[in-house]
Amino acid sequence: MKHKIRTYILLVFVYLIVAAPFKVMEVIPGFADIRPVTLLGPIYALFYGIPGCVIFAVMNLVMDIVSGDIAWSCIAGLLANFAGPFFILYYWKRMSREDLHLRSMSNIMKHIVLIIFSAVLEAVIITPSVAFLYDVDWKLFFISVLLNTSAFPILFGIPLTVFIQEELGFKQISRKDM
């Protein structure tokens, strides 16, 4: 139990390190919403299971509250940030016969397609609530969510997963623990 609590605190700490700087600065003028922290979603899900998905979703809500972006649409954000990583976890642990190993092109491609599907799922959950509450261009918002939740997990999340699996020896949660 003590080990689990320590692990969850570490997950929160890593989330904060990655997310916080992007909350206080505008990296690309005109593109306010850049969230590289989304790369952690599939990793938290696959290596820490449902608690990992919950931490990822709750931390997203916490960051929204801290940065003053709190609104009813945050509930949709919470749901989407849980559903996206959970979808990836569910596929690899319940639907797929083989585990994620990223050692072959077919396995990598399968993971990329899953990430894109989960990004679409998240965008479909968040966009209507934001479009309903605010006067925003919903198409642009949809694309922004889609790019944020697919590009970072693919471009940086996959190499990071290779590193933590192959070098650090991290083990994914087992099918029965899910």
Partner 1 sequence: MNRLQANICLLCVTLCWSTEVIIFACIPDSVPPFATTCITSIAGAMLLCLSFLKRIKETIRREGAGLIRRSLLLGVLNCAYNLLYLYGLKYFDVSSGAFTLSMTAVVLPVILFTARRKVSLKTWISAALVFAGILLAVGSNAGVGQFIGGVLIASGCIIRAVFIILLNDYSASGDPVSLSAVISAIVGVLSAVLWLITDPKGFGVLPWNTQIIASLVIYSYFIVAFAQTLNIFAQKQSTPANATIIYSMEIVMSVLWGTVLPASLIDRIELTPWIICGLVMVVLGNLVVLIPSRQEKTGEA
* Residues binding partner 1 (CB under 8 A): 17-18, 20-22, 24-25, 27-30, 36, 102-105, 108, 155-156, 158-160, 162-163, 166-168
31 bridge partner residues: 28
Amino acid at 158: I
User: Are the CB atoms for 39 and 153 separated by under 8 Å?
Assistant: yes
When the beta carbons of 75 and 109 are compared against partner 1, the nearer one is 109
Give 161's contacts (C-beta < 8 A, 6+ positions apart). Answer: 42, 43, 46, 100, 102
**Strand spans (E) along 15-70:** none
When the beta carbons of 18 and 71 are compared against partner 1, the nearer one is 18
| Helical H segments across 134-177, by residue range | 138-152, 158-166
Report in angstroms how near the CB of residue 120 gets to partner 1 at its nearest: 23
